[in-house]
């Protein structure tokens, strides 16, 4: 199972303005993940500025800030984060799916079953772990290349 990150259990920020959905979804996810909840987009942004998360799992339709707007806002704030948009708006399914492909997040249509939720979060955690490994490898490659270039410059300068 890909629920482990370099820090330990994967951290999920769960956002929903429906207290019942927030409570039951958090209870389910807490069996496997470290879960922090927020009742709206503003609270989620506040929590996101305070802590690092691996996955942002958010409701689509909320007051103040929609789930898609929230996902877009957190993208550049920290390390990469995987996004899951939960929605009951099936009539917007095609548009949301296109947006998800462009913005790289998962769409989970309500009502969903517990296993569907767990599977989606698991895929999101695995994708963010892959993305972070690629970023670390790219950074290491860049450091190694810089070191080789510096060494070549030193050798040429000593001639």
- 4-157: CATH topology is Rossmann fold (3.40.50)
Instruction: Name the pLDDT band for 141 (thresholds 50, 70, 90).
Output: confident
pLDDT of 12 reads: 97
Given a cut of 80, whether residue 5 has pLDDT beyond it is no
Task: Give the start-end residues of each E strand in the chain.
Answer: 4-5, 8-9, 11-15, 34-38, 55-59, 82-87, 105-109
Domains of the chain, residue spans: 4-157
- Percent of the chain predicted with pLDDT > 70: 81
Note if the bond before 111 is cis, omega within 30 degrees: yes
Give per-residue pLDDT as tens, 46-77. 999 999 999 999 999 898 899 989 988 888 77
The predicted model gives 30-42 an average pLDDT of 96
């Amino acid at each position: 199972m890909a629920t482990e990150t370099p820090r330990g259990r994967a951290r999920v920020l769960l956002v929903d303005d429906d207290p019942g959905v927030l409570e039951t979804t958090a209870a389910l996810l807490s069996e496997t993940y470290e879960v922090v909840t927020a009742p709206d987009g503003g609270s989620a942004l506040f929590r996101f500025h305070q802590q690092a998360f691996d996955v942002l799992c958010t409701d689509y339709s909320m007051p103040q800030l929609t789930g898609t707007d929230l996902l877009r806002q957190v993208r550049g704030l920290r390390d990469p984060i995987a996004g899951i948009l939960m929605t009951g708006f099936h009539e917007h399914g095609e548009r949301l799916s296109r947006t998800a492909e462009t913005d790289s997040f998962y769409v989970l249509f309500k009502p969903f079953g517990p296993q569907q939720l767990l599977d989606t979060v698991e895929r999101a955690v695995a994708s963010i772990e892959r993305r972070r490994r690629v970023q670390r490898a790219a950074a290491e490659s860049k450091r190694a290349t810089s070191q080789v270039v510096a060494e070549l410059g030193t050798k040429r300068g000593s001639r």
